[in-house]
Amino acid sequence: MSRTVRPRFDILVVGGGPAGMAAATRAGEHGQKVGIIDDNATLGGQIWRGESEAGSAASRWGERLRSSGAMVLCGRVFHQPEPRILLAENDDGLQELHYEKLILATGARERFLPFPGWTLPNVMGAGGLQAMVKCGLPVRGKRVVVAGTGPLLLAVAAYLRKHGAEIPIISEQASWMSLARFSVMLFAQPSKIVQGLQLKRQLAGTRFCAKSWPVAASGRATVETVTISRSRRMETIPCDYLACGFHLVPNIELPLLLGCQIHDGCVKVDDFQRTTVADIFCAGEPTGIGGVELALVEGEVAGLAAAGRIAEASSLFGKRERLRRFARSLDRTFRLRSELRSLSLPETIVCRCEDVRYSRLREHSGWRAAKLQTRCGMGPCQARICGPATQFLFRWNPDSVRPPIFPVRVESMAGVAGDANLELCETTGGR
Amino acid sequence: MLSQLALTVNGAPTVVPSGTTVAVAMAIAAQTCRTSVSGEPRGPLCGMGICFECRVAINGKPHCLGCRVLCEPGMDVRTNE
């Protein structure tokens, strides 16, 4: 397997979604030698996946990034063998990335909560099913129940409908009261109103239930029905897919590995998007879930600040603060209600990698003990799915990461095998 | 762009549009991706390379994430190897 040592970058950006693209662009436009690495084949992150419409924000930023001279790399960062060096793996081999300054724009993932039947095939994340459709999954004529919480549900339902799916219900756990407060707040965000009205038009006639959540999915080989609780009544709905996600959680594994301080599950940053580690910046969802506009502004601030353009970075603070108010209202509106803690039955699987059931986990007092005794969180996803779930269910705090932060080929670790911190036994994982 | 390509999924010939990921080809072929440690069939969950539920063997190489690999003509995709 090949090992490529890249010439040192002034600024390296990890993550090629909106925040990373904006950061790399603004830094590159000021003459910095910039690299941007992402583990997807194309930039744009999850939100802009497959979007190339002329004139869209995605294509505008893509064009601007290309002209900025930033070098685009493909690979998944999994380890920091020594300060200012990161290792990344892709199909072609291993890359060694040296940098002066680092900008982390690692994005977010969906939060999943366990309930009976959630491990059945065709029960997917809301964003998960959308990603599959963007990658070619036909949903024309399929019945898709959309459930969980967060603004993503509406966007996904509209997208699926546009692709021919039938949406019998959108089930949102937030109450009408908090959704109403949220929509009042939107009046301060003109661009969000426009998006909201578009969604409303696209979803005309679709049934939307607030204070409602899935309690069980069932089926023989794949999901066939979903039972939804609404106003304490149960309703069982036949479907081909359940698209179910409970808002988003920041991807903080790499910031944690690098020693960045975390507050309330998010990377702590100052006005210039600097983390608590010197020369490491962070932008976008890892600093708090706030959506694409906020991610772009934070990315711009981080890129400019890392390039030493302090005045230009400061000029964006006002815009960023307005968008952060929106982010805070997202947190309030889509906070998980406590009833969701009782969705798991004793036999419900919580850790899907190791098939660890709820009854085995609730015997333990904390994350570390549960992990050691049950192998919860020790499979290939390295607690990315069950970590946020157990955090909500048991108020545990999955607080530490170890390299490699993603499973990698054994050959990729061979070059750094002298490092005693490596958990090589975890790298291939399961079947 | 809309051309088709042929691959095999657990030995069965499957035709998909080019640009389709392996995880989607599995769904088109009505196959689940892996069997869990307690014997449950599993399919993709996150769609973005994080949950590892869609891992399959591609051309003999185990533990590939189906949602991140594009189908290629003649590809041999197998579950649980």
List, for residues A244-253, the tens digit of each pLDDT value. Answer: 999 999 999 9
Task: Identify the CATH number of the domain in which residue B74 sits.
Answer: 3.10.20.440
Residue A419 has pLDDT above 60, yes or no: no
Length of chain B: 81
CA separation for the pair A283, B8 (Å, rounded) = 42
Q: Does residue A409 lie in a domain region? A: no
Read off the pLDDT of residues A281-319 as tens digits, 9 standing for 90 and up.
999 999 999 999 999 999 999 999 999 999 999 999 999
Residue A431 has pLDDT above 50, yes or no: no
Assess contact for A306 and A127: CB atoms under 8 A. Answer: no
Residue A129 has pLDDT above 80, yes or no: yes
Q: Does residue A419 lie in a domain region? A: no
Residue A422 has pLDDT above 60, yes or no: no
Which pLDDT belongs to residue A305?
98
Which pLDDT belongs to residue A39?
93
Assess contact for A150 and A334: CB atoms under 8 A. Answer: yes
User: For the residues A141-159, what does the mean pLDDT come to?
Assistant: 97
**Mean pLDDT of the residues in chain A:** 93
Strand B55-58 vs strand B76-78: parallel, antiparallel, or unpaired?
antiparallel
Residue of A nearest to B79 (CA): A431
Name which of B35, B43, B77 is nearest B60 in CA terms: B77
- ipTM exceeding cut-off 0.90 for this assembly: yes
- Cβ <8 Å between A40 and B68: yes
Residue of A nearest to B66 (CA): A132
Assess contact for A11 and A99: CB atoms under 8 A. Answer: yes
Which pLDDT belongs to residue A429?
37
Name which of A131, A127, A130 is nearest A40 in CA terms: A131
Q: Would you call A130 an interface residue with chain B, using a CB distance cutoff of 8 Å? A: yes
Angle at the Cα of A409 from the Cα atoms of B41 and B6, rounded to 5 degrees? 55
Q: Does residue A410 lie in a domain region? A: no
User: For the residues A231-242, what does the mean pLDDT come to?
Assistant: 95
- Cβ <8 Å between B40 and A119: yes
Same domain, A32 and A123: no
Torsion sign, CA atoms B17, B18, B24, B27: positive
Assess contact for A118 and A217: CB atoms under 8 A. Answer: yes
Cα within 13 Å of Cα(B60), Cβ side: 0
Which pLDDT belongs to residue A415?
63
Q: Which residue has the tokens 């090949």?
A: A2
CA separation for the pair A221, A161 (Å, rounded) = 25
Read off the pLDDT of residues B7-49 as tens digits, 9 standing for 90 and up.
999 999 999 999 999 999 999 999 999 999 999 999 999 999 9
Angle at the Cα of A304 from the Cα atoms of A298 and A305, rounded to 5 degrees? 85
Read off the pLDDT of residues A163-221 as tens digits, 9 standing for 90 and up.
999 999 999 999 999 998 888 777 777 778 788 888 888 898 999 999 999 999 999 99
List Cβ neighbours of A409 (8 Å cut-off, separation of 6 or more).
A1, A89, A427
CA distance readout (Å), A375 to A117, A130, A429? 21, 31, 11
Q: Choose among A355, A385, A429: nearest Cβ to B51.
A: A385
Torsion sign, CA atoms A418, A409, A352, A337: positive
CA separation for the pair B41, B11 (Å, rounded) = 18
**What is the distance, to the nearest Å, from the Cα of residue B57 to the centroid of all Cα atoms in its chain?**
8
User: For the residues A90-109, what does the mean pLDDT come to?
Assistant: 96
Assess contact for A130 and A159: CB atoms under 8 A. Answer: yes
Which pLDDT belongs to residue A197?
82
Q: Would you call A54 an interface residue with chain B, using a CB distance cutoff of 8 Å? A: no
Q: Does residue A355 lie in a domain region? A: yes
Q: What are phi and psi of A342, to 5 degrees?
A: -100, 15
Count of domains for chain A: 3
Q: Does residue A405 lie in a domain region? A: no
Q: Give residues 339 to 358 of A whose Cβ lies within 8 Å of B.
A: 349, 352-355
Provide the percentage of residues in chain A whose pLDDT is more than 70: 96
CA distance readout (Å), A207 to A169, A301, A303, B13? 5, 40, 43, 40
Q: Does residue A64 lie in a domain region? A: yes
**What is the distance, to the nearest Å, from the Cα of residue A281 to the centroid of all Cα atoms in its chain?**
18
CA separation for the pair A60, A41 (Å, rounded) = 19
Q: Does residue A425 lie in a domain region? A: no
> pTM to 2 decimals?
0.94
Which pLDDT belongs to residue A382?
94
Domain range for residue B27? 4-78
Torsion sign, CA atoms A178, A148, A41, A306: positive
Which pLDDT belongs to residue A224?
98
Same domain, A129 and A156: yes
Which pLDDT belongs to residue A51?
76
- SS3 state of residue B61: strand
Number of Cβ pairs < 8 A linking chain A and chain B: 112
User: For the residues A48-68, what does the mean pLDDT come to?
Assistant: 91
Same domain, A154 and A236: yes
Task: Identify the CATH number of the domain in which residue A187 sits.
Answer: 3.50.50.60
Q: Choose among A136, A354, A431: nearest Cβ to B34.
A: A431
Sheet holding B4-9, edge to edge: B12-17, B4-9, B76-78, B55-58, B61-65
Q: Residue A141 corresponds to which tokens in the numbers above?
A: 């004529």
Q: Does residue A11 lie in a domain region? A: yes
Which pLDDT belongs to residue A245?
98
Is the preceding peptide bond at A404 cis, omega within 30 degrees of 0?
yes
CA separation for the pair A158, A200 (Å, rounded) = 9
Residue A426 has pLDDT above 90, yes or no: no
pLDDT category, A424, cuts 50, 70, 90?
Answer: very low
pLDDT category, A416, cuts 50, 70, 90?
Answer: low
- SS3 state of residue A307: coil
- Cβ <8 Å between B32 and A221: yes
Name which of A175, A170, A177, A165 is nearest A228 in CA terms: A170
CA separation for the pair A72, A6 (Å, rounded) = 12
Residue A66 has pLDDT above 90, yes or no: yes
CA separation for the pair A133, A121 (Å, rounded) = 15
Which pLDDT belongs to residue B81?
59
Q: Would you call A77 an interface residue with chain B, using a CB distance cutoff of 8 Å? A: no
Contacts with A219 from chain B: Cβ below 8 Å: none
CA separation for the pair A57, A61 (Å, rounded) = 6
- SS3 state of residue A161: helix
Domain range for residue A310? 2-109+249-331
